[in-house]
């Protein structure tokens, strides 16, 4: 089975904050799939979005060195498993499957998650949640999941309200399968409070929410705190947290 891979690297999970299901600050091996069907204007992985343009994938030969070995795409599953095991520093909390959008290559994703599960690793799925039918294929193999709620200002797709409803459906599927799941909302200076209220009302009683400023940060602190308070008033004060992309401040992958 072949797949179009972007990169495999060992780092700390830099996102998720402290809500239930977050792996923030834990060591992870990241498996970044190439290809995405959305187009978030602030995406920091844009170079990997068009899978056909990702002719090579890379893995970091030693964590935090920024030294990579490059291999041609498509990759074989064995090559990816070998790279993961090569990067296992013995302190790994879980394997993070991210991208691009990992669920778009759901067959190799599922095979990888099965294989890593058999090798004793926990599986962490980082997904836009827009494809619940594909989430169904891997939910039973998912130990932790971070599901984005794509705010209107992400301009991820034309019909953004339907995308949000699909994301909520994906969260429900993952929770029903026993995955520790939280929602991640990237906010910008233009995010509307009425939309934050809508997301919070959809998430109430379903899953906790982290609010993550878009990087580079353009939102004011008072506005960020207003979004937090409104969401907490709706969802309950223990079900909302902040998340920042800390790895960018640590200058690590």
Ligand X SMILES: C[S@@+](CC[C@H](N)C(=O)[O-])C[C@H]1O[C@@H](n2cnc3c(N)ncnc32)[C@H](O)[C@@H]1O
Ligand Y SMILES: Nc1nc2[nH]cc(C(=O)O)c2c(=O)[nH]1
Taking the C-alpha atoms of residue 91 and residue 243, their distance in angstroms, rounded to an integer, is: 23
Looking at the Cβ atoms of 23 and 163, the one nearer to ligand Y is 23
CA 87 from chain center: how many Å?
20
Closer residue to ligand Y, CB minimum distance, 60 or 126: 126
DSSP 228: H
CB-nearer residue toward ligand Y: 12 or 234: 12
Helix (H) or strand (E) holding 196: helix 193-203
- Residue 39 contact partner, candidates ligand SF4, ligand Y, ligand X, none, CB within 5 to 8 A by sort of partner: ligand SF4
Residue holding tokens 């939309």? 195
Question: CB 214 → ligand Y: shortest distance, Å?
Answer: 14
Sheet containing 209-213: give its strands across: 68-72, 56-60, 5-12, 27-33, 94-99, 123-127, 144-149, 180-187, 209-213, 240-242
**Do the beta carbons of residue 145 and residue 174 sit within 8 Å?**
yes
Tell me if residue 209 falls in helix, strand or coil: strand
Pick one of ligand X, ligand Y, ligand SF4, none as the site partner of residue 93 (Cβ within 5 to 8 A by kind): none
Angstrom CA distances, 72 to 55, 99, 109, 115, stand at: 6, 17, 18, 22
Q: Which one, 128 or 180, has the nearer CB to ligand X?
A: 128
The annotated binding site for S-adenosyl-L-methionine is made up of 42-44, 100
* Residue positions forming the annotated binding site: 12-14, 32, 36, 40, 42-45, 98, 100
Nearer of residues 37 and 114 to ligand SF4, judged by Cβ: 37
Shortest CB 160 distance to ligand SF4, Å: 12
| Residue 212 interface partner, choices ligand X, ligand Y, ligand SF4, none, CB cut-off 5-8 Å depending on type | ligand X
Q: Taking the complex as a whole, how short is the minimal distance between the CB of residue 98 and ligand X, in angstroms?
A: 5
Where on the chain is the footprint of ligand X (CB under 6 A)? 36, 42-45, 98-99, 101, 126-128, 148, 184, 186, 212, 214-215, 245
d(CA 200, CA 220): 20
Q: How far is the CB of 177 from ligand Y (least distance, A)?
A: 21
Q: Which parts of this chain interact with ligand SF4 (CB under 6 A)? A: 36, 38-40, 43, 45, 49, 99-101, 128, 156
């Amino acid at each position: 089975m072949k797949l179009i891979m972007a990169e495999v690297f060992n780092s700390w999970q830099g996102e998720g904050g402290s809500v239930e299901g977050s792996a923030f600050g834990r060591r992870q091996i990241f498996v970044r799939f190439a290809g995405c069907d959305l187009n978030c204007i602030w995406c920091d992985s844009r170079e990997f979005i068009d899978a056909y343009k990702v002719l090579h994938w890379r893995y970091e030969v030693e964590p935090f060195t920024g030294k990579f070995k490059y291999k041609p795409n498509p990759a074989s599953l064995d090559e990816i498993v070998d790279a993961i095991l090569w990067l296992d520093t013995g302190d790994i909390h879980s394997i993070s499957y991210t991208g691009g959008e990992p669920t778009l290559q759901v067959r190799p994703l599922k095979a990888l998650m099965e294989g890593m599960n058999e090798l004793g690793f926990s599986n962490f799925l980082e997904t836009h949640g827009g494809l619940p039918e594909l989430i169904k294929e891997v939910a039973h193999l998912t130990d932790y999941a971070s599901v984005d709620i794509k705010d209107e200002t992400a301009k991820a797709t034309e019909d953004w309200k339907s995308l949000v409803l699909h994301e909520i459906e994906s969260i429900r599927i993952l929770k029903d399968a026993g995955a520790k799941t939280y929602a991640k909302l990237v906010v910008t200076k233009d995010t509307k409070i009425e939309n934050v209220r809508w997301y919070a009302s959809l998430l109430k009683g379903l899953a906790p929410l982290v609010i993550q400023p878009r990087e580079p940060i353009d939102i004011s602190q008072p506005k960020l705190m207003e979004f937090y308070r409104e969401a907490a008033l709706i969802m309950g004060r223990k079900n909302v947290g902040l998340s920042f992309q800390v790895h960018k401040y640590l200058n690590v992958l």
